[in-house]
Chain A
């Protein structure tokens, strides 16, 4: 590492190390942060305490209003340190409700910018179908927002983004990712547990990151920006995403992805390099 690199590393403010509330503050313009349904409202999970689990006062989701580059914005930040960032009935409803209100804003001519800070293993298993239903509402709201506005997702790590919320990330029109992040449907531990260690060794970090790490997801076109773990760099990438030219969302490029998948022989699982060759960097952004 050169001296200049060392200095840049020392000066940066890690985004990964910030908690959800501080992450939302870092994305919004200075001093514009205003929280809705904050911890003092005590909108907690009613399902965790009967199962012997301590509930957090905000159920692990921060809904923050404010501005991004002067425009009205809403940032939905998931707290990864609480129950693995899992989404239950309440936390899921906070995100879905905020996105639906954003849609209502657009329909009455207010161009609110939605940002999702994703740090989540997906649905909260203790809340099962209620969490899944909320995640489905989040998906529906994102799809409805896409014709109106860029929907920007950020996966910073270290948890990453998995399960039903990986589908929400994939629906975003712009996805910003760091090298430390992982992004996939099933997490490595789940794959190893369900399909055996011959299928995937969850302890093989080099293999895991080569397949679902942030850099690979960027190089294969599943993320649009690869940024350093730096709060200002990530906030800048979010601002740039809202002024970038709009192109057809990945979720609308059905033919293209069908062809990519058809070109893969499941009997000969492709490695990281082959996946880059198949999917390329989407070229959509």
Chain B
């Protein structure tokens, strides 16, 4: 199990908290809530070890694309990067 934290500057506020997904095989859950400052603060807990670089890439792309100022918690059970991005965007959609 790996735990990672990522902080990025971000300007677009999210309206409300939201939750999507399940900690199921090949899936993940995402909890998103409005940030108290102009930042995206993301915590990842994953069952798969050694993929820090891939996580950073996926999250950098997500923040670059949406700039969501939010606290995001990811609990992952071996999802692929594509699945992670879909769940993040689903969570963002649900938080509008």
Which A residues contact B (CB, under 8 angstroms)?
A: 19, 38-40, 42, 49, 52-57, 79, 81-83
Contacts and interface: CB of A to CB of B under 8 A. Distances in A.
Interface in B9-25: 17, 19, 22-25
8 contacts: A40-B19, A52-B47, A53-B1, A54-B45, A56-B23, A56-B29, A57-B29, A79-B22
Nearest to A52: B1
Contact of B19 (A38, A49, A55, A82): A38
Contacts of A81: 22, 24-25, 27
A42 B19 CA distance: 11
A54 B27 contact: no
Contact of B22 (A38, A40, A55, A82): A82
Q: Which of A42, A56, A79, A83 has the most CB of B within 10 A?
A: A56
Given A55-B23, A56-B75, A40 B17 contact: yes
A42 B45 CA distance: 14
B1 A49 contact: yes
Interface of B: 1, 17, 19, 22-25, 27, 29, 31, 33, 45-47, 73, 75-77
Contacts of A55: 23, 45, 75
A57 B75 contact: yes
Interface of A: prevailing SS = loop
A55 B28 CA distance: 11
Nearest to B47: A54
Contacts of A82: 22-24
Contacts of B19: 38-40, 57
Contact of A54 (B17, B33, B77): B77
B24 A54 contact: no
B73 to A, nearest CB: 7
B29 A39 contact: yes
A92 to B, nearest CB: 18
A81 B23 CA distance: 7
Given A40-B19, A42-B31, A52-B47, 5 more contacts: A39-B31, A52-B1, A54-B45, A57-B19, A82-B23
A169 B24 CA distance: 24
Contacts of A53: 1, 47
A202 to B, nearest CB: 19
A82 B48 CA distance: 16
Contacts of B76: 54
